[in-house]
A = this chain, B = another copy of it.
Amino acid sequence: MHVRLYRRPREHILAGALSKGARLPSARVLARDLGISRNTVEAAYARLVDEGFVMRRTGVGSAVVESLGEVAPFSGSRIRSDRPPARASQPAPPSPSPATLGKRGALMPALGQAESESDTGTGAWATNAPGFPWQRWNRLLSREARRTGAALLSASPPEGLQVLRVQIAHHASLARGVRCEPDQVLVVNSTQQAIDTAARLLLDPGKPAFIEDPCYPSALAALKAAGASVRGLPVDDAGAVTDRLPGNARPGLVYVTPSHQFPLGMTMTLARRLSLLNWASKTGSYVLEDDYDSEFRHDGRPITALQGLDARGRVLYIGTFNKILFPGLRLAYLIVPSGLARAFASARRIIDGYSPPLPQAVLAEFMASGHFASYLRQARHHFRACRDAVVKAVGRHWGNAVHLGPASTGLHVVVRLPRGADDVRLARHPVRGISIAPLSRYYSRRRREAGLLIGYGTATVEEIETEIRRLASIVRS
């Protein structure tokens, strides 16, 4: 009732139906007429006064203010004053078309949308290792939340909690051969934030950016959103073909996945790596190394990161916990040449401030106590068994009809189909446990290979065997 008494006159005033200076009935009279408490009416009137719609003068009573006349009232037809306030949320005002976005802005929705439609987002490549120690994690979570209370939950540094940066530097150094000090480590929310921030800081509209083709579509989207002039680098068995980089390029950015090319799966050779670093140094460009899943190396020793070869501070290294642990964690990291660390921390203040400190503290403790390393060992064991199952199932059910790409690292493989095969249609088949996506969707150039990405990060060995058999029989028929 209060809402009706307040909202109606307000809308009528805005719509011009109640003219300036018009007197409202006295609270006493209105209360009597409506058979409601006078307090209710008084409350509604008081609110109208507070908000500047109505003025009260002793002896005169309540009246619509004069000063509204300074501005043109809204057209009455837009105010839906007769609509009953049936639900908690009031009806939304009409909306403009998205055409009113900025030029740069208009690019982003299209890019984000394309990515989501092609089903190539991170969702499809989530991990769900059966052995993740949820109990232990949640115990640490409760403990950190209790122990630290308000202190940990208050503002924290844009570059990340120091305890976590130290753990990350240690891990990246030991596990990936990255050469860094903790103060080069920036904690971010996701690989995506790392790429987007690097693109904003290092690229300008029209500056050259290079990316593998085929590639990780969200990385491509971030480079395009920065306004860069993006060119694809073909990929062969030795990784991105770095000698296609133009020798006379202006300074720019090269995004690569040298440890495990996404999506094809090969490792970039040493010669290519050195050629890439040389080129970056010569042209004054930076290399963005996305090392998204090489903690899961199934055969042989892990290949050290490209960053570890870089003697000239040209490489920005990205690692993520959203893939090794769980996507909802939202913690990843960027390791930058030390001359850039301050710039990135400052940019982070403007972009969104900082990552939530509580999960950072939990993760630091999870790492420091050795739980992280022992979980990694176990997960590696599990995913290797899955990988073995994929390789076996493809060999048994698909035989020579397809070509299986490199399978020594990570959580997915690529099965190449004969050129011309409709991989988009094939990937629409519902599958259980595993995830599938059409290889052709990852290419930018017209000449696309057909194939199927098979993700086993959320599958059991049984599901792998069953589903690949089913897929093979679909392809045959």
Contact = CB atoms under 8 A, between A and B. Distances in A.
B93 A337 contact: yes
Contact of A338 (B79, B95, B100, B156): B95
A270 interface: yes
Given A109-B347, A141-B145, A251 B356 contact: no
Interface in A26-52: 43, 46-47, 50-52
Given A98-B339, A122-B155, A109 B346 contact: yes
Interface residues of A, number: 138
Number of copies: 2
Given A128-B150, A173-B90, A269 B52 contact: yes
A184 interface: yes
A170 to B, nearest CB: 5
A141 B314 CA distance: 42
A348 B121 CA distance: 13
Given A146-B138, A203-B102, A347-B109, A51 B96 contact: no
Given A132-B150, A146-B138, A312 B356 contact: no
Interface in A332-385: 337-340, 342-343, 345-359
A105 B338 contact: no
A142 interface: yes
Contacts of A314: 96
A233 to B, nearest CB: 17
Contacts of A51: 270, 303-304
A452 B317 CA distance: 43
Contact of A353 (B146, B177, B190): B190
A238 to B, nearest CB: 10
A92 B196 contact: no
B179 A347 contact: no
Contact of A123 (B155, B189, B308): B155
Contacts of A126: 154-155
A17 to B, nearest CB: 14
Contact of A108 (B47, B189, B300, B347): B347
Interface in A174-206: 174, 177-182, 184, 188-190, 192-193, 196, 200-205
A339 B90 CA distance: 17
A356 B330 contact: yes
B347 A105 contact: yes
Interface in A294-352: 300-301, 303-304, 308-314, 326-330, 337-340, 342-343, 345-352
Contacts of A70: 271, 275
A196 B351 contact: yes
Interface string A118-160: 0001110010100010100110011001100110111110100
Give 8 closest A-B pairs by Cβ, nearest first.
Answer: A112-B346, A52-B270, A95-B339, A105-B201, A153-B328, A193-B352, A109-B346, A112-B349
14 contacts: A51-B304, A70-B271, A70-B275, A95-B340, A96-B339, A98-B339, A102-B201, A103-B204, A108-B347, A132-B150, A138-B145, A141-B141, A152-B328, A153-B328
Interface of A: 14, 43, 46-47, 50-53, 65, 67-68, 70-74, 78-79, 88-98, 100-105, 108-113, 115-116, 121-123, 126, 128, 132, 134, 137-138, 141-142, 145-146, 149-150, 152-156, 158, 169-170, 173-174, 177-182, 184, 188-190, 192-193, 196, 200-205, 207, 218, 221-222, 225, 251, 269-271, 274-275, 278, 284, 286, 300-301, 303-304, 308-314, 326-330, 337-340, 342-343, 345-359
